[in-house]
């Protein structure tokens, strides 16, 4: 009996610790794996020229990632511009001004929407946003656009990220004690002034983090963006032009990557780049959140 207990204890103890270590070492394993695969690329081109060159001709062995990085940045920044006012104001309304019933209904709804697969958002983008951009937005600026554009990508990404960011903001704002709001009001602040000084200022690190994590999510989003962004290799500042973000590059070309020399290394480099950028973003903003939570 005692022996059986001891054996059970040993085995399960070992099982628990190995599992935890495996999961925690995942980013390291993934990073190393991708780096090793991408390494041959560094023999041919410097890291700097890989990132900032715009020459993309895989069959000639030229890999300049700038069009893809720029495309990713552009789409992400655009989506950020859309989410910034919407999420902040909606979170404020839901937690500070609206009735309790509304937030009781909205919270689960937002939760469900945050869990909707990205391909669904992509379908919606193709059905609504792409035709909208080509039929209504482009004529306003006297140009034509197929609709598969940076703008569409930005809108779809924004709509995808809104539930995610909103969820975090609501959670953060809900931690503001009622007493603090009452204190501010009793000093003669209007409700909006209280929101400004107590809710926004007091949670500034948390708000920044929520958006930071939202940006990181947008940056790595693949399918939904790829479906509406057009996927053309070029650098353009016109939001009605097509672009080719990094994740789309990886997803679109996996089929032929083994048939062109170095192509697989290039795509793995793209994945490595995504991993590093997003991991850094996550580390910074999660750190901010963890720090504020402890206070």
Partner 1 sequence: MNNAAASQTSEVSTKAALHSSQIVKIQDLNVFAGDHHILKNINLEIPRNKITVLLGPSGCGKTTLLKCMNKLTDLYRELKVSGSIFIEKDDILNTTTNIPSIRQKMGLLSQRPYPLPVSIYRNVSYGLKLKGVRDRKLINFSVEKHLREVGLWEEVKNRLNAPATSLSIGQQQRLCLARGLAVKPSIILADEPTSALDPISSKIIENLFKDIKKHYTIILVTHVLRQAIRLADHAIFMIDGEIIEQGDPEELFKNPQTEELRAYLVDGN
Partner 2 sequence: MRRIKILEEKFFVFLSAFMTYSLITVLAFIILVIFIKGFNALNLDMILKTPQGGYYYGGEGGVLNAIMGSLYIAVGATLIAIFIGMPAALYINVQLVRYRRTQNTIRYFLDALWGIPSIVYGAFGFTLMLFLGMNASLLAGIITVALLISPIMVRTFDEVLSTIPRGLHEASLALGSTRTETAFRVMLRQGFSGFITAILLSFGRGIGDAASVLFTAGYTDNIPINLDEPAATLPLAIFFQLGSPIPEVRERAFASAVILTIIILAISLSARIISKRYSRSNLK
The entry of partner 2, partner 1, none that residue 266 binds, CB within 5 to 8 Å by partner kind: none
Please state, in angstroms and as integers, the Cα–Cα distance from residue 265 to each residue in 32, 35, 101, 231, 255, following that order: 13, 9, 53, 20, 14
Rounded to an integer, what distance in angstroms lies between the CA atom of residue 65 and that of residue 53? 6
Is residue 94 exposed (0-12), middle (13-18) or buried (19+ Cβ within 10 Å)?
buried
Minimal distance in Å, beta carbon 87 to partner 1?
A: 21
Residue 80 CB, nearest distance to partner 2 (Å)?
16
**99 makes contact with partner 1 (CB under 8 A):** yes
Under the binding rule (CB under 8 A), the answer on residue 256 touching partner 1 is no
Out of 85, 108, 179, 255, the residue judged to bind partner 1 by CB under 8 A: 179
Q: Which of 188, 237, 258, 259 binds partner 1 (CB under 8 A)?
A: 188
By CB under 8 A, residue 195 contacts partner 1: no
Q: Which helix (H) or strand (E) holds 56?
A: strand 56-57
CB of 264 to partner 1, least distance (A): 51
Q: Using N-to-C axis directions, what is the helix angle for 204-220 and 66-92, rounded to 10°?
A: 140
201 binds, among partner 2, partner 1, none (CB under 5 to 8 A by kind): partner 1
Tell whether residue 177 is a contact of partner 1 (CB under 8 A).
yes
Binding window for partner 1 (CB under 8 A); candidates: 53-61, 184-192, 255-263, 271-279: 184-192
The binding site for partner 1 (CB under 8 A) comprises 99-100, 177-190, 193, 197-198, 201-202, 295
């Amino acid at each position: 009996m005692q022996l059986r207990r001891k054996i059970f204890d040993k085995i399960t103890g070992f099982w628990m610790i190995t599992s935890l270590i495996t999961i925690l070492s995942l980013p390291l394993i993934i990073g190393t794996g991708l780096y090793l695969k991408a390494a041959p690329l560094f023999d041919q081109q410097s890291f700097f020229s890989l990132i900032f060159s715009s020459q993309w001709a895989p069959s000639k062995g030229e890999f300049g990632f700038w069009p893809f990085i720029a495309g990713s940045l552009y789409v992400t920044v655009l989506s950020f511009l859309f989410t910034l006012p919407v999420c902040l104001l909606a979170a404020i309304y839901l937690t500070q001004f609206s009735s309790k019933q509304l937030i009781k209904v909205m919270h689960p709804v937002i939760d469900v929407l945050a869990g909707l697969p990205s391909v669904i958002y992509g379908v919606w983008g193709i059905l609504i946003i792409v035709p909208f951009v080509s039929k209504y937005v482009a004529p306003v600026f006297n140009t034509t656009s197929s609709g598969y554009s940076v703008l569409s990508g930005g809108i779809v990404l924004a709509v995808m990220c809104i539930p995610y960011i909103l969820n975090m903001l609501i959670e953060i704002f809900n931690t503001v004690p009622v007493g603090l709001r009452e204190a501010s009001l009793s000093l003669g602040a209007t409700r909006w002034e209280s929101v400004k000084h107590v809710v926004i200022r007091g949670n500034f690190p948390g708000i920044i983090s929520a958006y930071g994590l939202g940006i990181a999510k947008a940056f790595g989003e693949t399918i939904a963006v790829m479906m509406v962004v057009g996927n053309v290799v070029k650098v353009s500042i016109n939001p009605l032009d097509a672009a080719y973000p990094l994740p789309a590059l990886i997803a679109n070309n996996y089929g032929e990557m083994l048939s062109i020399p170095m192509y697989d290394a290039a795509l793995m480099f793209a994945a490595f780049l995504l991993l590093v950028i997003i991991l850094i973003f996550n580390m910074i903003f999660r750190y901010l959140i963890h720090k504020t939570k402890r206070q």
